[in-house]
Amino acid sequence: MIRNDTAVLDAKRGDVNGDGTPDQVYLTGSPTVGSAFVQNIQLTVVDGRSGAKYTSQLKDNAGYNARLFLGDFTGDRVDDILISIDSGGSGGFTYNYIYSFLQNVFHELYNNEWFYEAYSDASVIYEDNYKVRIVNRSLHKQYLLDISTRDPSYLSELYDSNGKLRKPVEGSVLGVSGAYPIDLQGDRVYEIWPLQRVIGLYNADTLAYLQTPLSWSSNTSRFIPMFQWASVIGNDTN
């Protein structure tokens, strides 16, 4: 059922078309010799009842560690298909998709590009007195970070001895670096939890993470934010 010039990257079994019979779900792709990088990644479902095969091409179809998760994200008691692929770039981005396959028809419910465009109109602004303000205009939220415990050499680049900024400085909210299934409400319906890094002066300068769990709205037929957190990595205590 799988072409000879491709490899099976991951496989799961579950009823994804809603007929009550478990189906086979595959991710396949073309491996690169001497590397874990895989190209031409595609999604295939084999109908458990008829044996018919259905294939869907992914927009971002190359990367590392392609994997599947089956679970109900919409509340219809039928498994949906979550695809996760690591980009492998320095930003640590991932490609994530959620598909439904009711009645043997692929329908994309979620992708990271849509999430970023819909909910990531944000600014990261350094302020006097060792503060950084994150403003998310998409969700009408803001967060104030205290960076006073950062390395003195880092702070001296930004601030004078009185804690005043030497010049205006801004950071960035990056794209999604992971989107994870989680049943927050304990109802056997999964939410999707995208994670975004907030960076300061350079890519490795992680200031915080924005976490925005999304739940499916049957009224709008789309995922909507439940809430958003800005979280920081704690410092070691002496």
Q: pLDDT-based confidence at 205, cuts 50/70/90?
A: very high
pLDDT at residue 146, as a whole number: 98
State yes or no: pLDDT of 222 exceeds 80.
Answer: yes
Q: For residue 79, what is the DSSP state?
A: -
Q: Which residues contact 102 (CB under 8 A, 6 or more apart)?
A: 17, 18, 76, 78
What is the arithmetic mean of pLDDT over 6-35? Answer: 96
Residue 135 CB: number of other CB atoms within 10 A? 16
Number of H helices, E strands in the chain: 2, 17
User: In the chain, pLDDT over 70 holds for what percent of residues?
Assistant: 98
Tell me the per-residue pLDDT of 42-53, one tens digit each, with 9 for 90 and over.
Answer: 999 999 999 999
Tell me the per-residue pLDDT of 156-174, one tens digit each, with 9 for 90 and over.
Answer: 999 999 999 999 999 999 9
Tell me the per-residue pLDDT of 66-78, one tens digit each, with 9 for 90 and over.
Answer: 999 999 999 999 9
What is the arithmetic mean of pLDDT over 14-22? Answer: 98
State yes or no: pLDDT of 61 exceeds 90.
Answer: yes
Residue ranges covered by each domain of the chain: 7-105, 116-231
Taking CA atoms, 16 is separated from 56, 76, 149, 238, in Å, by 14, 11, 50, 52
What is the arithmetic mean of pLDDT over 209-235? Answer: 96
pLDDT at residue 86, as a whole number: 98
pLDDT at residue 235, as a whole number: 82
Tell me the per-residue pLDDT of 102-158, one tens digit each, with 9 for 90 and over.
Answer: 999 999 999 999 999 999 999 999 999 999 999 999 999 999 999 999 999 999 999
Q: pLDDT-based confidence at 91, cuts 50/70/90?
A: confident
Q: How far from chain centre, in Å, is Cα 75?
A: 21
pLDDT at residue 3, as a whole number: 46
pTM, to two decimals: 0.94
What is the arithmetic mean of pLDDT over 11-22? Answer: 99
pLDDT at residue 2, as a whole number: 45
